[in-house]
Amino acid sequence: MKNKRKIGVLIGSLRKESYSRKVAESLRALAPENMELEFIAIDALEMFNQDFDDEGTVPESWVRFRDLVKQMDAFLFVTPEYNRSIPAVMKNALDVGSRPYGYNAWDGKPGAVVGVSPGTIGAFGANHILRQSLVFLNVPAMQQPEAYVANAATLHDEHGELILESTREFFRSFLNSFSTWIDTILNNCRAPRLFICQRMVPGCAP
């Protein structure tokens, strides 16, 4: 298949029965032929500590993770909301992939965000807080459609299959839009590396 894209999927929950993971699995199953969704594990990443990079004691888990991130064409972030923000494991993964300074593994690759919650707001807060980091990491995030997956405990049957055709339809259309977004970014423009902070404030290291 021409232009088959490798999409790294990061899931912001480590819980065995995670709704976010179930949603990610459904998205993987519904992905169009030109997308290959690969789950990237983030549970074993040591907590970010700049000393590891500065002192050359980089953990093996970081090396593998950074290499894997670099191999991907795009990223799908599927995350629950913890206390109106993103879970620490997700933030840690973003930070580990972003360093050492000047070697941001996410740089210029398109992304999409799916918030998942058993509540009614669909992890809106987490979705947007994640987007804030993506701005700085230079991951152009798809704007529309947005995905705030609410009432997540009611979406799947006991075999992990989506119950409603309307959910399946939404996921399909989300993935099709993401595919178009990926092509737009990767074919037409590598997202410019604009560090406005650096430009406006001489000597400012972002």
Ligand X SMILES: Cc1cc2nc3c(=O)[nH]c(=O)nc-3n(C[C@H](O)[C@H](O)[C@H](O)COP(=O)(O)O)c2cc1C
Provide the binding-site residues for ligand X, judged by CB under 6 A: 13, 15, 18-20, 80-84, 116-119, 121, 123
CB of 148 to ligand X, least distance (A): 10
Contacts by residues 160-164 (CB-CB < 8 Å, ≥ 24 positions apart): 160/22, 160/25, 160/26, 162/26
Nearer to ligand X, 88 or 189 (CB): 88
The secondary structure of residue 118, as a DSSP letter, is S
Nearer to ligand X, 76 or 105 (CB): 76
**Cβ 133 to ligand X shortest distance, Å:** 17
Smallest distance from ligand X to CB 167, Å = 16
Q: Minimum Å distance from CB 30 to ligand X? A: 18
Nearer to ligand X, 116 or 182 (CB): 116
Q: Are 115 and 70 in contact (CB under 8 A)?
A: no
C-beta of residue 77 within 8 angstroms of C-beta of residue 90: yes
CB of 120 to ligand X, least distance (A): 8
Phi, psi dihedrals of residue 132, rounded to the nearest 5°: -60, -45
If you ran DSSP here, which 8-state letter would residue 5 be given? E
Closer to ligand X by Cβ: residue 11 or 137: 11
Evaluated on CA atoms 148, 151, 153, 157, the torsion sign reads negative
